[in-house]
Amino acid sequence: MLTHTLTNAKWIKARLSESAGGCVEVAFLDGGQVALRDSKDLEKAPHIYPLAVWLGFQDCLRRNDAAALARHRIRATVTRFGTTIEDADTAGAVVHTYTAWEWTCFLDGVNNHEFESAAA
11-23 pLDDT, tens digit per residue, is 999 998 877 677 8
Per the structure, the complete domain to which residue 89 belongs is given by 2-119
Cβ–Cβ < 8 Å for 26, 12: yes
What is the reported pLDDT for 91? 83
What is the reported pLDDT for 118? 62
CA pair distance 73, 65, nearest whole angstrom: 14
CA pair distance 16, 76, nearest whole angstrom: 20
Q: What percent of the chain has pLDDT over 90?
A: 65
What is the reported pLDDT for 1? 45
pTM for this one? 0.89
How far the first Cα of the chain sits from its last, in Å, is: 22
On the CB side of 118, CA atoms within 13 Å amount to 24
DSSP 21-89: SS-EEEEEETTTEEEEEETT-TTSPPEEEEHHHHHHHHHHHHHT-HHHHHHSSEEEEE-SSEEEEEETT
Element (H, E) at 118: helix 114-119
Q: Is 42 exposed, middle or buried, given 0-12, 13-18 or 19+ CB atoms closer than 10 A?
A: exposed
**pLDDT beneath 70: ranges in the chain:** 1-4, 20, 117-120
Domain total in the chain = 1
